[in-house]
Amino acid sequence: MFLFFKKSCVYLAAMFSSVVLLAGLSSMALAEKKDEKKKESQAAAGATLASVKKAGFLKCGVSQGLPGFSSTDAKNNWTGLDVDFCRAVAAAVFNDPTKVKFTPTSAKERFTALQSGEVDLLSRNTTWTASRDTALGFDFAGVTYYDGQGFLVPKKMKITSAKQLEGATVCVQTGTTTELNLADYFKSNNMKYKHVAFETNDEVIKAYEAGRCDAFTTDRSGLYSTRTKMKKPNDHMVLGDVISKEPLGPVVRHGDNQWGDIARWTVYVLVEAEELGVTQGNVDAQKKSTKNPVVRRLLGLDGELGNKLGLDNSWSYQVLKHVGNYAEVFERNLGMSTNLKIERGLNALWSAGGLMYAMPIR
Amino acid sequence: MKSLTHWLYDQKVRNVLIQIISLLVVFGVISVLVYNAATNIKSQGMATGFSFLQSKSGFAINQLPIHYTEDSTYFRAFLVGLVNTIIVSFLGIVTATILGFLVAIARLSQNYILNRLATAYIEILRNLPLLLLIFFFYFVVIRSLPLVRESWHISEVIFLNNRGLYLPALIHEPGSWIVVVAGIAAIILWFVYSGYVNRYQLKTGRRLAIWPVIVASMVGVAVLTLLIGTPFSWEFSKLGGFNFNGGIVVSPEFLSLYAALSCYTASFIAENVRSGILAVPKGQLEAARSLGLKRSVTLRKIVIPQAMRVIIPPMTNQYLNLTKNSSLAATIGYPELFAVFGGTVLNQTGQAVEVLAITMGVYLFLSLTTSLVMNIYNKNTLLTER
């Protein structure tokens, strides 16, 4: 019995090692092959565009519900500034703004969703920071909304400035630059505070409304937007203080420069069109009759910009036809005609005292 | 030597062969996954490695069992999360066990109302999703408790409001270690003495009273404290600005998570305990009764020790579940490991693979440790067969 055992042990050991060797070699060969394939796809710009075209729709990461930026309306349609940017890119690629699949992501999940390829484009009020641009492996395509962090407080607290928040408890969402700015602000002003961090914005609002916190902090646009969701919006006010710079914009994966260019120049087309007075309403007429060389280049009548991006030459016309220019997108989602009533402020054109400035399209 | 085909038909060889193949498949799948993740991360230019643990965290945490500031490292933040997980799990396990035993005994009792109440408790709690319970406790707690300025209080010493439970903190002054040492010595004395009482009872059949020793030692410690001038003082919570300052704060996030985890797990433990008690042969009970043992003594000395053997293995499962379930705290803002490390740190650094690997490793370690302790305990309570 023992002898048999010993004998079979030797056999087994030999067999085991040979199988392991074989498996190891074959998996290495397989991996190498895959590696080559991967390198090809990574190096060749256009992998994302090709996969988007092949799928027939754009996978766009948006927020889980921030009125004015990305939220669903009563009929379950996505609306908002970030949503319209997704539609603009879809219009550029497909000449059809409906070819978008929206993926709602939490602040925490959003980067993993983009890194893993679950979405092609992240348009989710995401702040452009150096570490996100570098360490996370992303490229920011531009700024669609210049924001800053502020505080929402109940009116009955009779506070007028954030400097009076010494010792306050502040509610905040985890996984945001907000959390870091909050710490920086109180530290630089030598004030003490307590904070409670929740995973989703909805939990933050519920806790704030229940009086768990004295103040709620996030980007000011988010505060205005969140306030409309509250039971008694008029009991709360946004303090005047702006404690950080929050340039929000669309994000793509680092490495596919063509896709990055498409997103970047879509932003500029929206802004440039506003500057040139090209609107959703007059874009057809302009296309037919304009003699202005700048407008002709914007609409792709002259030059080969669209082709160089790997798109149809009329891509920018498609964007404006289906989505409109930046001013129209802003007014539709955030402006005076909406519940949010946000003024253009920093988001006005550079020529009107804001920061919106498109690089020359030529 | 047997021919190859013959050899392949050998049952033993086949069994081993199947095992080797499955091992290889598992190993292969894992290595492909690891390889894929590594190449993808590399090709996207994402940061890798564990050096991020030494960088400054820059964010605050609202329950700090150990020292931590915004200037501390991510590793320190990890430790804070870990300790918070251990605190809530440990307290949850203790409470769930006690509550579970009580509910189980109530469910087995002859008292109709008690019996029905216990049944209702078990059936309601174990059939609700835990996340729902946590939300329920949290929002009920913070909505039903008063605001800071309207706090409930017990003679201005203990305050309760929707920001938490405020208790006075004990401040140690020089010389306090003497009292601490004396206190520990007193507790050791109780154990030694009760051991002696048990042995004495076995030998003579007479049971000595324990309480005089307890009272005497407590008086002793109290007198000692007074003699060296009471080297303690209390720090009371005071209302200042927005919140109470000073003292000890127990956050509503902790309270509701702790309550939800304990109540939920207790309902499962209660059923385990009930099955354990019912598994004790009826003859044992009848024998105890015929010896004239009181009901409480029968329960403590005859039923529970035998029931433990049936109870321990499924109860270990419940302990592990409780520890793992504590990760749901992220939703209500209790800063445990998953919320702090798997949430905030993951997001600030973007190093999902490393952070999640560490987090999984830690939960695995915690679970295996709990298992190990319970297995050792189980071995000690096993029936020694003669």
Q: Helices B74-108 and B112-126, interaxial angle, to 10°?
A: 150
Establish, for the pair of chains A and B, how many residue pairs have beta carbons separated by less than 8 Å. Answer: 152
State the burial class of residue B386 (Cβ atoms within 10 Å of its Cβ: 0-12, 13-18, 19+).
exposed
Q: What is the arithmetic mean of pLDDT over B154-171?
A: 84
Q: Which residues of A touch B39 (CB under 8 A)?
A: 34-35, 38
Q: Do B13 and A169 touch (CB under 8 A)?
A: no
DSSP string, B243-261: EEESSEEE-HHHHHHHHHH
Per-residue pLDDT band for A155 (boundaries 50, 70, 90) equals very high
Residue A216: strand pairing partners: A152, A171
Among A252-266, B102-116, B151-165, which stretch is predicted with the lowest mean pLDDT? B151-165
Best of B32, B46, B256 to mutate (most A CBs within 10 Å, chain A)? B46
Check whether B274 has a pLDDT greater than 90. yes
Same fold, A47-146+247-352 and A149-244: yes
Judge whether residue A253 has pLDDT over 60.
yes
User: Are residues A134 and B70, on separate chains, in Cβ contact within 8 Å?
Assistant: no
Least trusted range by pLDDT, from A296-305, A345-354, B155-164: B155-164
Architecture of domain B74-133+252-381 in this structure: Orthogonal Bundle (1.10)
Q: Is there a contact between A319 and A92 (Cβ–Cβ < 8 Å)? A: yes
Chain B residues with CB under 8 Å of A38 CB are 39-40, 43
Place of tokens 């030598």: A190
CB contact under 8 A, B60 and A183: yes
Q: Which residues contact A120 (CB under 8 A, 6 or more apart)?
A: A48, A51, A52, A58, A59, A60, A252, A259
- The whole model's pTM is what? 0.77
Statement: residue A3 has pLDDT above 80: no
pLDDT at A313: 93
Q: Using CB atoms, pick whichever of B24, B45, B332 lies closest to residue A19.
A: B24
Residue A30 token pair:
């397989």
**Tens digit of pLDDT for each residue in A14-28?**
444 444 444 444 444
Report the relative pairing of strands A246-253 and A145-147 from DSSP bridges. antiparallel
- Percent of chain A residues past pLDDT 90, beyond the cut: 61
CA atoms within 13 A on the CB side of B237: 28
CATH fold label, A149-244: D-Maltodextrin-Binding Protein; domain 2 (3.40.190)
Mean pLDDT over all residues of chain A? 86
Domain ranges of chain A: 47-146+247-352, 149-244
The residue that leads in pLDDT, A83 or A34, is: A83
Of B41, B70, B343, nearest to A108 by CB-CB distance is: B343
Instruction: Specify whether the CB–CB gap between A83 and A95 falls below 8 A.
Output: no
Residue B147: the pLDDT is: 83
Summarize pLDDT for A98-124 with one digit per residue, the tens: 999 999 998 888 998 998 889 999 999
pLDDT-based confidence at A1, cuts 50/70/90?
very low
The DSSP string of B19-83 is HHHHHHHHHHHHHHHHHHHHHHHHHTT---SSGGGGSB-----S--SS---TTSBHHHHHHHHHH
Q: What is the structure's pLDDT at B314?
A: 92
A132, A137, A197 member nearest B333 (Cβ): A197
Is it the case that residue A258 has pLDDT exceeding 90?
A: yes
Q: In this predicted complex, what is the ipTM?
A: 0.74
pLDDT surpassing 60 at residue B379: yes
Which residues on neighbouring strands pair with residue A169, listed in sequence order? Answer: A194
Q: How far apart are CA A274 and CA A331, in angstroms?
A: 12
Question: Rounded CA gap, B340 and B319, in Å?
Answer: 22
**Range with the lowest mean pLDDT among A85-94, B137-146, B260-269?**
B137-146
Chain B residues near residue A12 by CB distance under 8 angstroms? 13, 16, 20
Q: Which residues of chain B neighbour A36 with C-beta distances below 8 Å? A: none
What does the pLDDT average to over B45-49?
77
What's the pLDDT score for residue A63?
92
SS3 assignment, position A3: helix
**Record: contact B45-A212, CB cut-off 8 A:** no
Residue A315 pLDDT > 60: yes
A3 vs B290, higher pLDDT: B290
Alpha helices, DSSP H only, in chain A? 2-43, 47-55, 81-94, 110-115, 130-134, 177-188, 201-209, 220-229, 257-276, 283-289, 293-298, 305-308, 315-322, 326-333
Question: Do A225 and A68 contact (CB within 8 A), yes or no?
Answer: yes
Query: Which residue in this structure is represented by tokens 């003082």?
Result: B233
Task: Output the pLDDT for position A347.
Answer: 95
Q: What angle do CA A166, A168, A171 make, to 5 degrees?
A: 135
Average pLDDT over residues A276-296: 94
Residue A242 has pLDDT above 70, yes or no: yes
Top residue of A112, A199, A214 to mutate, by most chain B CBs within 10 Å, is: A199
pLDDT tens-digit readout, A44-62: 467 899 999 999 999 999 9
Query: The tokens of B259 are what?
Result: 């309550």
Which residue of A122, A129, A196, A204 to mutate against B (max B Cβ within 10 Å)?
A: A196
Of B36, B253, B343, the CB nearest to A175: B343
* CATH architecture of the domain formed by A47-146+247-352: 3-Layer(aba) Sandwich (3.40)
pLDDT tens readout for residues B301-323 = 888 888 988 899 899 999 999 99
Over residues A316-331, mean pLDDT: 96
Q: Which residue, chain included where needed, has tokens 């605001």?
A: B147
Which of the residue ranges A176-190, A269-283, B57-71, B168-182 has the most confident prediction, judged by mean pLDDT? A269-283
